[in-house]
């Protein structure tokens, strides 16, 4: 399981298999089976509500909307520099940004939110811009 997969799992994204399984359909005994497959659907997960609820229950004042460290802490995932660097490499952070931890963190925060949204999380547009 990749680092980003852990984030999705903590948010409950992708935990339910929404992929359709092929079902053979046969029209007659002499015909070849025709496999039909329904299109995949992505269930929308209320990420904002989950994170706000976690933030309210957390004794630390964590701002997941602006900080990748706080986002990872709310999800109870390792937020160390080494862990963030591993995540940045996994998500394809440009090498020039990897040299500056602040720039890497900003890129990582935006990219993680965008990837969560692409996988069915309801991230507000203002956090994706």
What is residue 25's predicted lDDT score, i.e. its pLDDT? 41
What is residue 15's predicted lDDT score, i.e. its pLDDT? 59
For the chain, helix, strand, coil in percent to 5 are: 50, 5, 45
What is residue 57's predicted lDDT score, i.e. its pLDDT? 94
Q: What is the pTM of this model?
A: 0.76
What is residue 42's predicted lDDT score, i.e. its pLDDT? 52
**Which residues of the chain register pLDDT less than 50?**
17-29, 31-33, 35, 38-39
d(CA 14, CA 85) in angstroms, rounded, equals 24
Closest by CA position to 7, among listed 53, 76, 54: 76
């Amino acid at each position: 399981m990749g680092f980003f997969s852990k984030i999705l799992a903590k948010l409950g994204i992708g935990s339910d298999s929404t992929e359709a399984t092929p079902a053979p359909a046969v029209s007659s005994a002499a015909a070849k089976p025709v496999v039909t497959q329904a299109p995949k659907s992505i269930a929308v997960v209320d990420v904002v509500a989950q994170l706000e609820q976690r933030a309210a229950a957390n004794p630390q004042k964590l701002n997941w909307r602006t900080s990748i460290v706080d986002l990872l802490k709310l999800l109870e995932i390792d937020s160390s520099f080494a862990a963030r660097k591993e995540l940045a490499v996994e998500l394809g952070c440009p090498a020039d940004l990897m040299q500056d931890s602040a720039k890497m963190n900003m890129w990582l925060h935006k990219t993680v939110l965008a990837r969560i949204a692409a996988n069915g999380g309801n991230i507000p547009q203002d956090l994706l811009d």
